[in-house]
Amino acid sequence: MTEVKIQNNDLVLICHRDKKYLKKIEENKAFNGKGGTLSFSDLIGNPFGKRYGEYEVYRPTLEDIIMFGVKRDTQIIYPKDAAFICLKLDIKYCSSILEVGTGSGALTIIFSNFIGPEGKIVTIEKEERHFRNAKKNIERFCQDRDVEVINCHVLEYGGSGFDSVFVDVREPWLYMDKVWGFVKESGTIGMIVPTTNQISEILKAFDDRGGFGDIEVIEILLRRYKTVSERIRPFDRMVAHTGYLIFARKLLK
């Protein structure tokens, strides 16, 4: 494996102390930050993963892209939740996934990361404003994957036979018939909601409609520790809540 060098138009992650920036390399341009000016011409042809003056420059990971590259006009799904969702939905090379509620497209991009060229993602978003923003994010960061972004209401979408469906809308309990119909038998179903009242509504809708098995409600918490070897301790503050995750599988009677 030969080492690939930084090239024009590459995305780079620039780190300075606790701050991180995702930038696109453009010849003759530069990054200006608290660590001084970093000329992009000085980077081109040099390796990723290297200290340049006060900066460290890395090849961005998917998480970097989500956290620092995706333009948000909605609350995004955090990496800790997104990673777990992928596992619970059983996302893999060649999965077909329907996402209801594209939001900013962050989760779409994460899904697309794990499917290969034979996989397929459809994501629908009813708000035109979110749709436009998400479409840009997805076009920018999932160039080579089969991702279809549709501006429609969940009730208007007629697809079916997906391996998995993920629902991130305010009132998922209103669309249980549709959600059920989107996936194959035994297909995996995931949802995220911020409040416990919504969990109640969803569980009630699962009961009322029937056809949902292996139901789970899960919360993922992430705690960061300071990285000083002689003073190991958690950071003083943490994100205490992002959302409750609900999972089920399509079940015939």
User: According to CB under 8 A, which residues from 30 to 59 bind a second copy?
Assistant: 47-51, 56, 58-59
Choice between 117 and 132, CB closer to a second copy: 117
Task: Output the CA angle 134-135-141, nearest 5 degrees.
Answer: 85
User: Binding to a second copy (CB under 8 A): which residues in 9-28?
Assistant: 15
User: Binding to a second copy (CB under 8 A): which residues in 74-93?
Assistant: 79-80, 82-84, 86-93
Compute the least distance from the CB of residue 131 to a second copy, in Å: 25
Determine contact, residues 99/123, Cβ cutoff 8 Å.
Answer: yes
Interaction of residue 220 with a second copy, rule CB under 8 A: yes
Stretch 226-245: interaction string toward a second copy, x if CB under 8 A: xxxxxxxxxxxxxxxx--x-
Compute the least distance from the CB of residue 5 to a second copy, in Å: 9
Q: Which residues of 164-182 are buried (b: 16+ CB within 10 A; e: fewer)?
A: bbbbbbeebbebbebbbbb
Interaction of residue 177 with a second copy, rule CB under 8 A: no
Interaction of residue 62 with a second copy, rule CB under 8 A: yes
Stretch 97-126: interaction string toward a second copy, x if CB under 8 A: -------------x--xxxxxx--------
Among 3, 9, 128, 170, binds a second copy (CB under 8 A): 3
User: What are the residues whose beta carbons fall under 8 Å from the beta carbon of 237, sequence distance 6 or more?
Assistant: none
| DSSP β-ladder status, 244-250 and 183-193 | antiparallel
Determine contact, residues 113/138, Cβ cutoff 8 Å.
Answer: no
With tokens 């779409």, the residue in question is 108
Among 187, 190, 191, 192, binds a second copy (CB under 8 A): 187
The SS3 of residue 168 is coil
